[in-house]
Structure 1
Amino acid sequence: MSKNQSFIFSVAPMMDWTDRHCRAFHRGLSRRALLYTEMVTANAVIFGDRERLLGFSEVEHPIAVQLGGSDPVALAKAAVICAEWGYDEINLNVGCPSDRVQGGNFGACLMLDPALVAACVAAMKAEVTIPVTVKCRLGVDEQDPEVALDALADSVLAAGADGLIVHARKAWLQGLSPKENRDIPPLDYDRVHRLKARLPDVPVSLNGGITTLEVVQTQLAHVDGVMLGRAAYQQPELLLQVDSLFFGDEDPHADAFTAVTAFEPYVAAHLAAGGRLHDITRHMLGLFTGRPGARAFRRHLATEGVKPEAGLDVLRAAVDEVRKAEERRSLVA
């Protein structure tokens, strides 16, 4: 099993979603979950606005940065920069199927070239002391997942990779959009279980299609870790039970109401620095999913939270919609 305890449960890197405000919000719901940045390319790290691309709050630890690229030299340079910025892990994306990523010769298309991925991992490992992991698919297009996944895993592990995160689907580089690639190729958790059984000393995390913490518990009987993606983002209240269920710790908050209250100073600081409320609250829309008043909560944030002058009072009023709805339900009951 993994020596890195945070590997047990993580929130997936998701483009346009897991930015620094999303991560700060999620960290308030779980102290122990491993959080990931959105994917950032190696060249962007080297030549771009590093504060915008890599900046994060100290409260976000443990936090991993996901890099995209296929040039070992560039990835090594980017890895050094990320390590200097204080990240706890570097993850190489070998799973994204988008056309833009393919055009840059990285992401899922690298499943076709395990030797190149290994060279990338070796170059990064030679320059940094923090863990370097790889996130991949079962294979791409017509590849046999039994052969493709083992080939990729064996190559990167020989190069020094510290762990594998496997999205338990193949990726179809032709004929399916990135969105369709998240749902249409069939899930095959058993294939990931077989990989873990073959590599008992290697940390292996499973990703893809998991929507409940009960399923996470079931999967942890077979692998070292589970990575939740859209479910953690769209129903963030799930994260409130992660610390007690998977780490034996006390959960940071009794409920979502107290979590939001505790998050207010972060929101206030962002507003004071000239930021907009919507920068943060767009990541909170799913917080009360399934509760009375959830629709009113979302509607209030969607209409009032986007206004330039929106402040903490808007967030508090949205939360009050849920409180009032729950009080009405309790009176009826």
Structure 2
Amino acid sequence: MGGPSFRKVGTAVRIATAGSLASFILIVAFVLFVIHRRRTRRHHEMEEEEAEFGKLQGIPMRFTFQQLEVATEQFKDKLGEGGFGSVFKGRLGEERIAAKRLDRAGQGKREFLAEKTHRLLVYEYMPKGSLDKWIYCRHDNTGPPLEWRVRCKIITNIAKGLSYLHEDCMKRIAHLDIKPQNILIDEDFNAKLSDFGLCKLMDRDMSQVVTRMRGTPGYLAPEWLTSQITEKADIYSFGLVVMEIVSGRKNLDTSRSEESIHLITLLEEKVKNNQLVDLIDKNSNDMQAHEQDVIQMMKLAMWCLQIDCKRRPKMSEVVNVLEGTMDAESNIDHNFVATNQANFGIAGNVTSSAPPLASHLSGPR
């Protein structure tokens, strides 16, 4: 009597097991389908990115990861390291290069020259490194402080690079991280802007753009407090860099006395007391000898440092002042420090009257 019952139970177990197995197979098949779709979509996205690169103008060459491995001898000679990756020295043919390996996923999507998972940017090699190594008080005893003439040249190169980004491209490009560490110097002390990882593109008909805060504390314009910025944020940062160049000190220096930590606060005090001469780099006799010229350069910097961004000049106007074809604005608001801004931290005319060029940028090769 028990036989038929056992057979019925066994049949039911087999049916239940078969049903569970079928459900499991369906789940696995669904998961595999989802993974396949994601991979297919990612593949199409990468193909679209490749096609997007093909449409860009002015990209002279692209490289495989293997080529750059050979060029850098397996990334042997590290030149430096930043927030987005490490930079390595290399050589392609007769040309020396600097290859930046982007270590943070998702960075530099439209800026990199890469092969699939390897994201690399290839720059021209700038043998004298970044500007900060040349303008701050130097303790390595490798050479004297920069002459006034050289500092004027560097300031003009920076201004022309920014003028090109702001006024000569199809879209306005705000760099948004102008600081000495992102300004590279070649063998002849020509300066070029680099590191466009935080830049923002703006249509010509846009008066401003709302964006999350980006940049480096100490170089941020007051308008970052509202997150509504224009390319004038770069001009404020440029003014700070100019002050660092002529004073030979960092704009935020915690090794100094409390009243001297912020260069911009010190500038506000000195200009109101007619003591700008106190800010001239004391480590350079040549800078001291060009006292009046340096003070005129400070006045140009102050034009750029005004809290109201509408009162700051365009970079093309800054270039014109540096080249002696126009005068700087004299009606300057000398209150440079906005409330809650603590953490945001001309003479010597240049003879060249050439317009700003893309060559003032250190871009991917």
Structure of higher CA gyration radius: 2
TM-score range, shorter chain: under 0.3
Greater percentage in helix:
1
Q: TM-score, normalised by structure 2?
A: 0.23
